[in-house]
Amino acid sequence: MSDWQIRPERPADFPSIRKVLVAAFGDDEVADGVDRIRESWIYRPATSLVAISDGEVVGHVMITGCTITSDAGERTVAMLTPLAVSPERQRRGIGGDLVRAALAGAEEAGVPFVMLEGSPKYYGALGFEPAREHGIEPDYPMPDWAPPDAFQVYLLPAYDPADQTLRGAISYPPVYG
């Protein structure tokens, strides 16, 4: 049985979330990015979640917004990043629970899909698929170290494969620099 609860983040959690991010990623870069996200149009508090165990923040996930450009123009879609679990609490299912809870929030918000860059092994097991199979590509070159199919999507019930506005190039919001 899991001994953690998942709920939306609150301002009082922000310092503890920073500690989890720094411990999981090894430096301040992602935590600084999360601070910028919270000040930007892409922030979605309802899908910015924490896992709490013994009263402490032990994990964090964000689904925010990004832009897809198709022949029909631009529209906002959803992007999952970052995901982090305290190193001493990893490999117990907290990361998977955070992803599933954030996807449920995105579904409730009526978004058609959630994209991310990450391990196809980890996210494939959670139901993500290679984005290019659905006509969704990054508008930037993927880094050399990224595995093939690192660019992935999770299709939600609001996704309509016939909707051409959902096929195109994803661009990262300027908040990512």
Ligand X SMILES: CC(C)(COP(=O)(O)OP(=O)(O)OC[C@H]1O[C@@H](n2cnc3c(N)ncnc32)[C@H](O)[C@@H]1OP(=O)(O)O)[C@@H](O)C(=O)NCCC(=O)NCCS
- Give the residue from 74, 78, 66 showing the smallest Cα distance to 165: 74
C-alpha 51/C-alpha 60 separation (Å) is 6
- Give the residue from 122, 128, 85 showing the smallest Cα distance to 103: 128
Interface with ligand X: number of residues (CB under 6 A): 18
**What's the token pair of residue 74?**
């631009």
Q: What stretch of H or E contains 100?
A: helix 94-108
Contact 137, 151 (CB under 8 A): yes
Residues 62-101 that bind ligand X (CB under 6 A): 81-85, 90-96
By C-beta, is 16 or 90 nearer to ligand X? 90
Minimum CB distance to ligand X, residue 23 (Å): 9
Residues 11-50 that bind ligand X (CB under 6 A): 24-25
Residues 119-158 that bind ligand X (CB under 6 A): 119, 121-122
Query: Which residue is at the shortest CB distance from ligand X?
Result: 95
Contact 114, 63 (CB under 8 A): yes
By C-beta, is 146 or 158 nearer to ligand X? 146
By C-beta, is 153 or 166 nearer to ligand X? 153
Minimum CB distance to ligand X, residue 154 (Å): 14
**What's the token pair of residue 115?**
């994209």
Minimum CB distance to ligand X, residue 166 (Å): 23
Angle at 44 between CA 27 and CA 34, to 5 degrees: 10
Type of residue at 45: P
Residues 157-176 that bind ligand X (CB under 6 A): none
Binding mask 107-126 for ligand X (x = CB under 6 A): -----------xx-xx----
Binding site for ligand X (CB under 6 A): 24-25, 81-85, 90-96, 118-119, 121-122
